[in-house]
């Protein structure tokens, strides 16, 4: 069974949608260790609402933080100190999709970042990329960090429509890494998540 850590080149690039698709594709369990902005809702509830299969389990968050801010800042406002060692992998015999918060180097305390959670559990990394001015720079910086620090980069997921030149500028820097395209979803519905997950499954991408 594999542990996949879903991270992104920034905030609001589609990590939760991708997490739902991969959870459905693999009939995997889902876990978000740190949830900021819980007053606005939990990503685990969003993923759960988009899943069709009955095998996936949804594991409770280690830290629930009220404000939609960087975890270290949201935790400070809540009077909490996030400790990496207290984030323990849920017990499961299933594949596990682990969703990060924001990008790789979002701080969770004064010395640790979100990506350190993936390193702690030796996860394979799935990097979500969306198209906006600056996405090439953000993507290459993220990929460079992962490569220099010897992370296992399993896949780049391009979320939405990309100009070929933009995509090529990013993909030429990786080898032995899956490239997965996900279409733009104007509305979210479990039927769409199921359809995309079936396409990925048929391609034996993961």
> Which residues are designated catalytic?
32
Alpha carbons 66 and 111: distance in angstroms, whole number: 22
Per-residue burial over 128-147, b if 16 or more Cβ lie within 10 Å, else e, is bbbbeeebbebbeebbeebe
Describe the strand order of the beta sheet including 29-31 as a list of residue ranges: 58-59, 29-31, 96-103, 3-8, 124-130, 152-159, 178-182
CA distances from 3 to 65, 89, 104, 109, 144 (A): 24, 10, 17, 23, 22
Alpha carbons 128 and 195: distance in angstroms, whole number: 19
């Amino acid at each position: 069974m594999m542990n996949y850590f879903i991270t992104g080149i920034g905030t609001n690039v589609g990590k939760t949608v991708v997490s739902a698709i991969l959870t459905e594709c693999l009939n995997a369990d889902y876990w978000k260790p740190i949830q900021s902005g819980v007053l606005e809702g939990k990503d685990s509830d969003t993923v759960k609402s988009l899943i069709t299969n009955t095998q996936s389990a949804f594991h409770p968050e280690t830290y629930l933080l009220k404000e939609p801010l960087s975890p270290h800042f949201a935790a400070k406002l809540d009077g909490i100190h996030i400790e990496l060692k207290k984030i323990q992998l849920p017990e499961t015999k299933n594949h596990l999709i682990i969703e990060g918060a924001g990008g790789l180097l979002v701080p969770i305390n004064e010395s640790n970042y979100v990506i350190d959670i993936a390193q702690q559990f030796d996860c394979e990394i799935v990097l979500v990329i969306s198209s906006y001015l600056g996405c090439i720079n953000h993507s290459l910086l993220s990929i460079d960090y992962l490569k220099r620090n010897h992370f296992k980069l399993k896949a780049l997921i391009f979320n939405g429509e990309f100009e070929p030149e933009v995509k090529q500028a990013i993909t030429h820097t990786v080898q032995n890494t899956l490239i997965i395209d996900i279409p733009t979803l104007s509305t979210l519905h479990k039927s769409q998540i199921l359809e995309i997950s079936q396409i990925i499954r048929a391609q034996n991408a993961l």
